[in-house]
Amino acid sequence: MPCSLEKIASQFAIEGHFLSSEPITNGLINATHLVTCEDSSGGPRHYIFQCLNTQVFPEPFKVMHNVATVTQFLQEQAQEGELKKPNRALQLIPTNTGGPYLQGAENDLWRCFNYLEGCVSFDTCENEEIAYEAAKGFGSFLHQVEGIPAAQLHETILDFHHTPRRYQQLLKAIDQDTQGRAAAVQKEIHFIQQREELCHLLIDQIEAQSIPVRVTHNDTKVNNVMLDAESHEAACVIDLDTVMPGVAAYDFGDLVRTTISAHEEDTQDLSSIKVRPSYFKALTEGFLTGCPSLTKTEILSLATAADVITLEVGMRFLTDFLEGDLYFQTSHPSHNLDRCRTQLALLEQLEANAEKFTVIIHNLTVHGSE
C-alpha cells in the first residue's frame, strides 16, 4: 500500500477527523476498508474506502466514469424523485479538489463512498423473504437507472456476457491445451458442446432487438444488495464496477444462478446441488415488482436466463482450468475444475425444472408492458 489510510482519507471531502480503519475482507476484487472518523459533535462517522483492482479493470477511468454517472443520477433521484431517501443511495464522496477519485503516486486508484447506516447484507440467501428483497433491490436498480442511456456508459469488461465468444475462447483453450489437461475433461467438454445453441439464446435476441439494451448491474449476488437491518427490505444496490450496457436477463440469470441452490460454488459433492422452485418464484416476483417497466419479451427471456449464465460461468471456469488457472484464484490444482463441474451440475438441475420455471414466468407476464 503506497501510503496510510489516514493520509488517503485526508485527501477526500469527508466530515470529521480520522480515528481508525479496518479491512473488509468479504470482497474478492478490490481492497476495501471501513474508515471511522469523529464528527464535530463527537460522534462517529463512517466511510467506505476502496482501492480499485486495475488488473481486473485495466481501464479504471472508464469504471469510474460509469460509477460517477450512476451514483450522481441515483442521488438526484433520491433527493428529488420517487425515492426521497438520500441516506439510502450510494454516494461517491469527492476528493478535496472535487474529483471522483484519487490517483496515487504508484497509479493506484482510490475512491470513497458513504457508509449506509442501518443496513446489512447477507452472503447467503437463507429464506424466500431475503430472496424476494434481493431481487426487488436489483429490479429497482434497473428501474431507477432507466433514465441513463446505455450508450452513455463504457463496457468495463469487454464481452463480459457475450456467451458465444466465451464458447469460442473455450474451444481455443481446448485446441491449444497448454497444460495437457484436456484429456481429463472430455465429459465436461462434451456436455458444453451439446449446449452450443444455448450460448446464442440471449445474444440472438439482443441482435434482433427483441429485448432492449439497458443499464444493468452485472454482478447480482445477494450480498451486493444492502437491506434494512430491522425490516430486511431492500435499501440499496452496491458494487457498481460492472455496471454497463446489458439486458435484464443478465442480472436476473446471475441472481438465480447464485441463489437458487444452497451449495458452495466449489463443492465436490454434486448431489448437494438442488434447486428450490419456491426461491425461483420469490426471485421472479421480487425482480418484477422492483422493475415494473420490463416488457413482456424481457420477462419471457428470464425463464432461461439462468441456464445461459450458468453455462457461461461454467465455460469460464473450464477455460481457466485448461489455460493454467490464470484468472480465478485457486487453492488447489483442480479448484477451477471443481467450480466448472458445480456449474454444469446446477445447469442440469435448472434444465430439469425448466417447465416449472416457465409456468411461473408465464403466470407473471401480466406485470409486463408492451
Distance CA 40, CA 208 (A): 57
CATH architecture of 5-117: 2-Layer Sandwich (3.30)
The two counts, helices (H) then strands (E), for the chain are 13, 11
Structural contact between residues 17 and 7, judged by C-beta atoms closer than 8 angstroms: no
The whole-number pLDDT of residue 105 equals: 66
The whole-number pLDDT of residue 28 equals: 56
Distance CA 353, CA 28 (A): 31
Which residue type, as a one-letter code, is found at position 81? G
Tell me how far the alpha carbon of residue 277 is from its chain's centroid.
Answer: 22
The whole-number pLDDT of residue 222 equals: 95
Digitized pLDDT (tens) for each residue of the chain, 370 residues in all? 445 889 999 999 998 889 888 888 665 567 889 999 988 788 899 999 999 988 778 899 999 999 999 999 998 887 765 544 545 789 999 999 999 999 876 678 999 999 998 999 998 898 999 999 999 999 999 999 999 999 999 999 989 999 999 999 999 999 999 999 999 999 999 999 999 999 999 999 999 999 999 999 999 999 999 999 999 999 999 999 999 999 999 999 999 999 999 888 899 999 999 999 999 999 999 999 999 999 999 999 999 999 999 999 999 999 999 999 998 889 999 999 999 999 999 999 999 999 999 999 988 775 443 4
**Measured between alpha carbons, how far apart are the two ends of the chain, in Å?**
52
The whole-number pLDDT of residue 39 equals: 83
| Residue extent(s) of CATH 3.30.200.20 domains in the chain | 5-117
Structural contact between residues 301 and 253, judged by C-beta atoms closer than 8 angstroms: no
Which residue type, as a one-letter code, is found at position 278? S
CATH class of the domain at 128-367: alpha beta
The whole-number pLDDT of residue 87 equals: 59
Name the one residue in this structure whose C-alpha cell is 463443492: 267
| Residue extent(s) of CATH 3.90.1200.10 domains in the chain | 128-367
- CB-count burial class (<10 Å; 0-12, 13-18, 19+) for 339: buried
Nearest to 202, CA basis, from 295, 280, 293, 309: 309
The whole-number pLDDT of residue 368 equals: 42
Distance CA 209, CA 351 (A): 26
Three-state DSSP state, 144: helix
Structural contact between residues 249 and 308, judged by C-beta atoms closer than 8 angstroms: yes
